[in-house]
Amino acid sequence: MTSNEKRVLTIDDDGAACRTIDLVARTAGFEARSTSDATEFFRLVEDWQPTHLVLDLVMPGLDGVDVLHRLAEMGTDAQVIVTSGHGQRVAEAARRVARELSLASPGILPKPFSASLLRRLLHEDEGVSPCANAGSGRFLAITAADINSGLERREFVAHYQPKIDCATERIVGFEALARWDHPEVGVVFPDSFIRQAEDGDLINALSEQVAESALAWFGRTFAPHGLELALNFSGRAVSDPGLADAMSSLCTRYGVCETQIVLEVTETYAMADPTAALALLTRFRIRGFQLAIDDFGIGYSSLAQLARLPFSELKVDRSFVASARTSEESRKIVAALISLSHSLGLRVAAEGVEDGETLAILRDLGCHHAQGYFIGRPMGPEETRIWVENKLAPGQAINGRP
Ligand code: C2E
Ligand code: MG
Ligand code: MG
C-alpha cells in the first residue's frame, strides 16, 4: 500500500490554470504537479501515483474522453476532477463517462475556477473508497480467501448514516453500510469487497453477517423509538430463496418489526430480470419489509416495469442530488424523479445531500427523506448513538416519540 500522502496531478494546456490549481492544492495540504503533455501525464500517473487528477477536457490534439478511457485501462484509483471552459453540461457529460468507466469522480470544476470548489472537491473522496487506495485492489488485492477469513473472524460490520425527514428535519432512521474491520488495514469500504464477495459466492454469508450486526445494534438501541433501518442487498443476495426467512428470524431475535426494515436493491438489479424480481421482491413485501430502489436514475428503467414492481421507496442517485444546487439539468431530473415518485405513490429519498441549500431545494420539491454528508457521515455504532443524542434538544425524543 502507498503512504497516505495526497498528490494532485493536473493536465491542462493553460499554464496559468495549472499554476492556480497547484497553488490551491498545496495550500490544501497536497503535493501538486501539472503538465500540458499527455505522455508526461500518463507517465506520472504510473510512477507518481497521484491520488487526484484534474483533467482539462479540451486540449489541442488531446481528447478528454480518450484520456478517461486510458485511465480506466490503467486501473487508476485516483479521483478524477473534470474541468472545462466549454460549459457545465459538457463537463457533466464527461463525468458521467468517467463513472461509467468505473473511475472515481467527486465532481466537475467549471472554468473560471473557484478555489473553494476545488478545495471541496479535493476533500470529497471519502464516499468512494478512502481506504488507502484499496478501491480497485491495485494496492490491496482482496481475494475471496481473504473475505472468507474475515467472515470467519466476524469482521464484517455496519456503519450507519442517518436519514432525516426533509420537512421536519427529524431523524427517521439509518442506512447500514457494510464495512470490513480489518485487523491490519483498518476500515475497508464496500467498493473493495462486494464485487469480490459476489464473484467468490460469499455475498450471502457477508450480507447475513452485516445484517445481523446491524439488527443487533438497531434492536438494542433504536427499534423501540419507531425508527427505520435500511440495508443494502445485491441482486445475488436477494435472489437467495432463504433470505426472506433469515431476515424474519433476525427481526424476531432482535425485537425489530419487519416494517422497520427497508431493503435497498439497485435499479440495475431490478431491471435485469423484472419477472424474477417481481416474484422475489413480493415475498419480502408480504412479510412486511419495505423495499427501496437504490441509485435511481443512472440505469435504464422502464417506467412500466418500475410501476409493476412492489417498491415502497425510490432513492434518487447521489450524482443528481450532489449537483442539484449547481446544475439546472440535475435539478430538473431530481424534480422529475420526485414528482414521478409522488404519482406512483412511492416515498422518495435523496442521497448525497452535501449542503443546506440542497436540502432546502429538496424540501421545496416535496422530497420526503434525505441523507448525505451535510446531515451526517456514516459512523460506527457508538458514534452514531452519540450523534443522535447530541442532535436532540434536552428532553426531546427521537422522532418526537417518548
Ligand atoms: P449506496 O447504498 O448508494 O450507499 C451510499 C454511499 O454513498 C455510501 O458509500 C455512503 O458513504 C456514500 N455517501 C453518503 N452520503 C454521501 C454524500 O453526501 N456524498 C458522497 N459523495 N457520498 C455519500 P459506501 O458506504 O462506500 O457504499 C458504497 C456502496 O456499496 C453502497 O451505495 C451500496 O451499493 C454498497 N453497499 C454498502 N453496504 C452494502 C452491503 O451491506 N451489501 C451490499 N450488497 N452492498 C453494500
Ligand atoms: Mg443504499
Ligand atoms: Mg445509493
> How confident is the model at residue 133, as a pLDDT?
35
Task: For CATH 3.40.50.2300, list the domain ranges present in the chain.
Answer: 7-122
* 24 CA → ligand 2 middle, Å: 33
Ligand 1 pocket, mutate which of 80, 317, 318 (most atoms under 8 A from CB): 318
> How confident is the model at residue 136, as a pLDDT?
33
- CA within 13 Å, CB half, 289: 29
Q: How far apart are the first and last CA of the chain?
A: 49
Alpha helices in 48-182 (DSSP H): 64-74, 88-100, 115-122, 144-152
For 28-46, b/e burial (b = at least 16 CB within 10 A) is bebebbbbbebeebbebbe
Integer Cα distance of 282 and 220 in angstroms: 28
Integer Cα distance of 170 and 173 in angstroms: 9
* 372 CA → ligand 3 middle, Å: 10
Q: Note the maximum CA span of the chain.
A: 66
CA angle 296, 298, 301 (to 5 degrees): 70
Q: Is 120 exposed, middle or buried (0-12, 13-18, 19+ CB in 10 A)?
A: middle
* 125 CA → ligand 3 middle, Å: 16
- CB–CB of 140/1 below 8 Å? yes
* Three-class secondary structure of residue 245 per DSSP: helix
- CB–CB of 209/246 below 8 Å? no
Q: What is the pTM of this model?
A: 0.71
Integer Cα distance of 156 and 208 in angstroms: 10
Task: For CATH 3.20.20.450, list the domain ranges present in the chain.
Answer: 137-391
Pocket of ligand 1 (CB under 6 A): 127, 161, 177-178, 189-191, 194, 207, 210, 232-234, 264, 294-295, 318, 322, 351-354, 372-373, 378
Ligand 1 pocket, mutate which of 108, 195, 232 (most atoms under 8 A from CB): 232
Residues facing residue 107 across a β-bridge: 81
Size of the chain in residues: 402
Residue ID of nearest Cα to ligand 1 atom 10? 127
Three cell numbers written together for 136: 480497485
Protein fold of 7-122: Rossmann fold (3.40.50)
Backbone angles phi, psi at 34, to 5 degrees: -145, 155
Closest ligand to C-alpha of residue 191 is 1
137-391 is classed in which CATH architecture?
A: Alpha-Beta Barrel (3.20)
Strand bridging mode 171-182 / 228-232 = parallel
In the chain (402 residues long), the average pLDDT of successive 10-residue segments reads: 73 91 89 94 95 90 88 92 80 83 86 82 56 36 90 97 95 96 85 89 95 96 89 89 92 96 88 82 92 87 82 94 92 96 96 96 98 95 92 58 43
